[in-house]
């Protein structure tokens, strides 16, 4: 027989376990699921005003002087004083909804429109699907025959170039007319406002040009974009950052700029990139490589945007054309066999960390693409460095044009040599990510990431070590995934670095210090 005391202790313990159990049941049933949100992000307070910004070299425009901004009414005029009084009263009477909009847009005009573009790319970067039951290619709701990395890179480049040009024009007018900021006139704003002349509104310029360019690229989203732009412009009045005439002037200069950007869009040869007449088959037949690429999908499909290598470049097209690397080692060579063995060895004993790296840098179909990931990463740098709207737009404009060119140059290389993917040569090679339906050589991931890291290291020198490590990891990710040979990565990185250097040269010469 057990001692009485022991039995009591056991009984008590069981009693408490039961109480705990009951409490847990109530807790499990009663909690509501947390939703993922971005939390409350602190505002960045830009440090520099870049007063010379109006003289910086523009991208689509020949110069900021191409668009003239009309002279504003004097601050002493009755009309202006009325606007100012209305804004002051409006700030005091702001509703919670208005405050939400103020805080949302105060995060950064360029940053927010970049996020919107990433959202839309993720939504429309959807290739038509394949229905097994009917054997037909099915147009999904958002199916887009242009889906792929070149599509995404182009959207970001066009948006960023347009935003940058709009802001250079706005900056020129700001310091030409010097209408004092509202803060200097006693308005206590609801969010940090850069202390630059208020006319014209930089936010209105970004909102309008972003809305028009994105609406051209995503016609189905016009209503959504217009609502966003209207809210954005209004939010700056609610915030106490601008008076309506500032906003109107920003909007007007952007409306003059947008058609010029759209002319650039129409003339960039991207429209033919999906190769409707299948000329790629001729190119494949003549490809100077001993084995020919085939699609590994079942059923086989035409490769992604075969003519995207012919898209008009932003930086010097002759220099970029010269960067296309020579053919990789032939499949019969010892070098090739060594490269193939390396892919096979990694694929058979892939570590968890290699899988993670492969997945992180993949950004495959139906995502905002690798260039979108670099835009996200750059957002952090822009915030950490307190870049003002003009600087942020310059960063994105330099970056996104370079990444589009790196994508274009990669495509040009891929569709010159038509090098098979490792799994085509050895079907036992299983891949951590879906095999992109493009030839293997060169790795566009390596090229785009090396371009981005080269340029960003110049713009943010204190982060250069981190950026180089990221580019190296991104370049290796295709090897870890089993979708690329090491020579794809090495040559891709070399190509990307060279294009990054073109962008660095442009950054050095654009007038910004």
Considering only the stretches 58-66, 123-131, 280-288, 460-468, report the one whose residues sit in contact with other proteins under the rule CB under 8 A. 123-131
- Decide: is 85 part of the binding site for other proteins (CB under 8 A): no
Query: Which residues touch 122 (CB under 8 Å, ≥6 apart)?
Result: 366, 367, 368, 372
45 binds other proteins (CB under 8 A): no
Residue from 48, 81, 99, 123 that binds other proteins (CB under 8 A)?
A: 123
Q: What is the three-class DSSP state of 131?
A: strand
Q: Is 305 in the site for other proteins (CB under 8 A)?
A: no
Q: Which is nearer to other proteins, 323 or 347 (CB)?
A: 347
- Helix or strand holding residue 109 (H, E): helix 109-124
Contacting residues for 174 by C-beta, under 8 A, at least 6 apart: 54, 196, 197, 198, 199, 200, 202
The 315-334 site mask, x for binding other proteins (CB under 8 A), equals: --------------------
Residue 415 CA to residue 407 CA, distance in Å, equals 12
Closest by alpha carbon to 162, among 389, 378, 393? 393
**438 part of the interface to other proteins, by CB under 8 A:** no
Q: Is 267 in the site for other proteins (CB under 8 A)?
A: no
Say whether residue 34 binds other proteins (CB under 8 A). Answer: yes
β-pair type (136-138, 129-131): antiparallel
Tell me the C-alpha distance between 137 and 71, whole Å.
56
Nearest approach, Cβ of residue 302 and other proteins (Å): 16
Q: Which residue's CB is nearer to other proteins, number 125 or number 385?
A: 125
Q: Of residues 371, 385, 414, 431, which one binds other proteins by CB under 8 A?
A: 431
Q: Single out the segment in contact with other proteins by CB under 8 A; choices: 175-183, 302-310, 344-352, 397-405.
A: 344-352
Q: What are phi and psi of 138, to 5 degrees?
A: -105, 130
- Which one of the spans 245-253, 260-268, 370-378, 384-392 is the region binding other proteins (CB under 8 A)? 370-378
268: helix, strand or coil: coil
- Give the whole-angstrom CA distance, residue 344 versus residue 283: 29
Q: Which of 360, 383, 466, 505 binds other proteins (CB under 8 A)?
A: 360
Select the residue interacting with other proteins from 12, 14, 92, 300 (CB under 8 A).
14
Q: Which stretch binds other proteins (CB under 8 A): 426-434, 437-445, 450-458, 493-501?
A: 426-434
Cβ contacts of 482 within 8 Å, gap of 6 or more: 343, 346, 347, 350, 358, 422, 423, 429, 430, 431, 432
The site for other proteins, by CB under 8 A, has a size of 58
Q: How many helices (H) and strands (E) in the chain?
A: 18, 2
Cβ–Cβ < 8 Å for 71, 177 = yes
Q: What values do phi and psi take at 130, rounded to 5?
A: -125, 125
Does 414 contact other proteins by CB under 8 A?
Answer: no
* Residue 362 found at the interface with other proteins (CB under 8 A): yes
Stretch that binds other proteins, among 16-24, 161-169, 243-251, 316-324 (CB under 8 A): 16-24
> Hey, which residues between 226 and 245 contact other proteins (CB under 8 A)?
none
Answer for the pair 236, 203: CB distance below 8 angstroms, yes or no: yes
Which of residues 267, 430, 469, 508 is near other proteins by CB under 8 A?
430
Among 7, 17, 85, 321, binds other proteins (CB under 8 A): 17
Binders of other proteins among residues 470 to 499 (CB under 8 A) are 482
Alpha-carbon torsion (76, 82, 87, 89), positive or negative: positive
Nearest to other proteins of 258, 479 (CB atom):
479
Q: 128, 166, 374, 156: which is closest to 265 by C-alpha?
A: 156
35 binds other proteins (CB under 8 A): yes
Residues engaged in binding other proteins (CB under 8 A): 10, 14, 17-18, 21-22, 24-25, 28-29, 31, 33-38, 104, 115, 118-120, 122-123, 125-126, 132-133, 296-299, 347, 350, 352, 355-356, 359-368, 372-373, 376, 423, 429-432, 434-435, 482
């Amino acid at each position: 027989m057990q001692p009485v005391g022991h039995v009591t202790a056991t009984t008590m313990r069981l009693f408490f376990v039961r109480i705990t159990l009951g409490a847990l049941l109530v807790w499990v049933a009663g909690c509501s699921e947390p939703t993922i949100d971005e939390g409350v992000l602190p505002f960045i307070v830009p440090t520099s005003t870049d007063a010379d910004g109006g003289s910086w070299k523009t991208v689509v425009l020949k110069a900021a002087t191409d668009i003239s901004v009309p002279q504003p009414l004097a601050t002493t005029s009755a009309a202006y004083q009325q606007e100012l009084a209305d804004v002051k009263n409006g700030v005091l009477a702001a509703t919670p909804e208005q405050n939400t909009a103020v805080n949302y847009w105060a995060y950064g005009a360029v940053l927010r429109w970049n996020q919107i573009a990433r959202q839309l790319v993720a939504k429309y970067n959807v290739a038509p699907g394949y229905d097994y039951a009917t054997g037909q290619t099915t147009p999904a709701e958002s199916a887009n025959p242009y889906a792929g990395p070149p599509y995404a890179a182009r959207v970001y480049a066009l948006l960023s170039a347009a935003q940058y040009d709009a802001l250079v024009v706005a900056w020129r007018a700001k310091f030409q007319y010097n209408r004092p900021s509202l803060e200097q006139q006693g308005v206590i704003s609801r969010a940090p406002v850069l202390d630059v002349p208020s006319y014209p509104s930089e936010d209105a310029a970004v909102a309008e040009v972003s809305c028009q360019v994105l609406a051209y690229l995503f016609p189905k989203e016009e209503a959504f974009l217009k609502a966003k732009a209207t809210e954005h412009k209004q939010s700056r009045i609610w915030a106490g950052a601008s008076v309506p005439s500032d906003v109107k002037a920003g909007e007007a200069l952007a409306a003059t700029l947008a058609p010029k950007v759209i002319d650039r869009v129409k003339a960039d040869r991207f429209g033919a990139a999906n190769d409707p007449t299948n000329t790629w088959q001729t190119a494949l037949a003549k490809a100077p490589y001993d084995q020919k690429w085939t699609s590994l999908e079942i059923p086989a499909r035409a490769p992604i945007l075969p003519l995207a290598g012919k898209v008009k470049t932003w930086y010097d097209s002759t220099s970029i054309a010269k960067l296309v690397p020579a053919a990789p080692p032939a499949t019969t060579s010892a070098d090739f066999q060594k490269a193939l063995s390396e892919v096979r060895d990694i694929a058979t004993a892939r570590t968890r960390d290699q899988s993670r790296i492969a997945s992180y840098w993949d950004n495959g179909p139906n995502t905002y693409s690798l260039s979108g990931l670099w835009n996200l990463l750059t957002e952090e740098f822009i915030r950490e460095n307190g870049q003002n709207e003009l600087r942020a737009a310059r960063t994105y404009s330099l970056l996104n044009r370079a990444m589009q060119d790196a994508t274009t140059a990669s495509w040009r290389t891929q569709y010159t040599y038509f090098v098979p993917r490792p799994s085509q040569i050895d079907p036992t090679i299983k891949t951590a990510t879906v095999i992109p339906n493009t030839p293997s050589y060169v790795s566009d991931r390596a090229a785009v990431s090396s371009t981005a890291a080269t340029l960003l290291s110049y713009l943010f020198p204190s982060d250069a070590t981190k950026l180089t490590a990221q580019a190296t990891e991104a370049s290796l990710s295709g090897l870890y995934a089993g979708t690329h040979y090491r020579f794809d990565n090495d040559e891709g990185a070399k190509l990307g670095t060279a294009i990054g250097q073109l962008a660095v040269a442009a950054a050095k010469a654009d007038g910004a210090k």
